[in-house]
Each structure stands twice: as C-alpha cells, then as structure tokens.
Amino acid sequence: MADKIAPVRLGSRVRFEDRWQGRVSGLEVDEDWNVFNISVSSGFLFAGSSVRLPFTSVTSWSDESVLIAANSFQAFGRQIPPVAAPARPLASNTPASHPGTKFAGAVVRQGDRRVLELILTRGVRGLFRVPVTEVSFTGKTMTIGIPTEQLVRYYPDAQISEELHRLLSEDASIPTEDKAHIKFDVEDGVVTVNGNVRIRQTLHYMEGLAASAPGVVSIGNELHDDFEIEAAIGFALNAAGASRDGKVYVRSNLGEVQIDGFVASERAADDIKRTVARVSGVHSIVNRLQVRPAATAGARSRPRS
C-alpha cells in the first residue's frame, strides 16, 4: 500500500537476494526528508566494509530487517551506484542538540519514501520518536525542537503486539473463546483490533484495553459482534430478495453462521449462502437449508434470545 509506513532502524539486518549480509548503518535524506540512499555495513573493525545503496533498491523494511533487490556481490562490489545528489547523512554519530541523544532510525512512508519521524536513543532511557517538523539542522547538528522531558517514547511494533496479547490473555472479564477470535495488527504504533466477539460490550471494551498498552498511537476497531452480523445478514438477504424463495433463519456464533430454514430450489440455497458469505465478519458457514419446492416467502433473521 502506498500509505504504509514502517521504521528503518540502525542495526537492522539486511537481506539481499542471495543471503543475509550486513546491517543498516545510516540514511541520506534531502531537505524535504526524502530518503535517497541507505548505508549498509558488514564485518568488524578493519575487516569490515560499508556501502551506500539507492533507497529505491529497498523493497520493504521493518524494525528488524531491510530487504534489498540486489545480490550481495553486486552491492559490496560497488556495482549499484548511490543517488548522486546533495543529501544529509543521518547516522549514530550525527551531532544532536540534546546531550546524550543519538539518531537511531526513521519512520518512512512507503509510497514516496519520505521520513515522517525520527527515532532517537537516549542511552539507557530507551527510544523516542520526534516528528520531522520538530527537527532542523544548524550546520551538521540535528536540532530538536521538543524539550527532553516531552519526548514521546518509541516502542517497536513487535513489543506493542506482545504487550497487547499479554493484556488480553490476563483479562478475566473476556470469555476464553472470545479471546481466541481476537487479533491485533500493529503498524508503526497504529493498532487494528479485528476478529469476532459475542456481544457489543466486548467490542467497545477492547478499545480501552488496546489503548492501555504503551506505545499505541491510535486504534482502529474492526471487531464484529454476533448481533451485528445477524442484523447485517438479515438486511443482505432482504436486499437480495431471499423472501421470495422461502423462510431463512440465521444464527452467528463468533462469526460461524448457521443457516436454517427452507427454500424453493438448490439455486436459491446457493444464492443465499453466497450472500451470507459476503457479509463482513462471517468466516464460516454451516448450511442446513432444506429444499422444498412448495416453500413460501418470509426470509428473516432469528432474533437473539
């Protein structure tokens, strides 16, 4: 997706087409924070080597790794020239206005490969995130426009996801079977909760649980409760004209939908099943429809008890 954003972290492993080799050691950006080149270092001390590669050769990136569309021999053999344009290097030794603060990475948007935030480290105090709108340069020094005490902590997505699953597993107010149907997708601190729950109260409760995890920037709720699914199926069947073909009753249990009733033909039964399958939140169907050619109209959803 063009709007996808992900961090490029110093020290992340680099995967070339033929093997893993080296780690990210720096980035080069222009005045508009577009990434031109990436630096990869391999080996140790005097036996090590470093190479600058165009960032367009990077196909994907995350907290843990960077994938490059070239083999390691081409890269370290200097067969892939970097972008020859004025650019500012960002590395761990880039001077910063806040004492003890070092550049540790950048959050980069995939579509235009533009930096949105810098990731900074402050010794044992951990990682912090700063929007590039709050960063300027005085000579070679990276000037940070946010006071030290107001810096926002940065948490890797994997750490956020692990904490979310811990909170969910330890929460006694959510039924165990519901827990098994709840999933978290985390992308640069943005959490999307998806899956199935039985009641709407759990759906809203999950937003608060997700918000309690450190590092969460925002929350998207794509959970589906059973009452919502049954109502949506009822509307979909009515819109599809299922009332002309028989009597249909549906019941959802965590997204597993059981269809009961009778219809006038096998074709009508297949149409109903396809309509139900298209409803958001349905992940499986148990079809118990019976074919009765003399069936009359009256498709509806069974009210919940």
Quick one: pLDDT at residue 286? 96
pLDDT tops 60 at residue 177: yes
pLDDT tops 60 at residue 240: yes
pLDDT tops 90 at residue 164: yes
Quick one: pLDDT at residue 213? 92
Quick one: pLDDT at residue 305? 47
Q: Contact, 38 vs 58, CB < 8 A?
A: yes
According to DSSP H, which parts of the chain are helical? 72-76, 157-170, 176-179, 200-211, 226-239, 266-277
Quick one: pLDDT at residue 272? 93
| CA distance to 182, 197, 201, per residue, from 208 (Å) | 14, 15, 11
Share of the chain above pLDDT 70, in %: 94
The rounded Cα 100 to chain-centroid distance in angstroms is 31
pLDDT interval class at 185 (50, 70, 90): very high
Quick one: pLDDT at residue 299? 45
CA distance 305 to 96: 63
Quick one: pLDDT at residue 294? 56
Residue range 261-283: average pLDDT? 93
**What tens digit of pLDDT does each residue of 111-128 get?**
899 999 999 998 777 899
pLDDT tops 80 at residue 75: yes
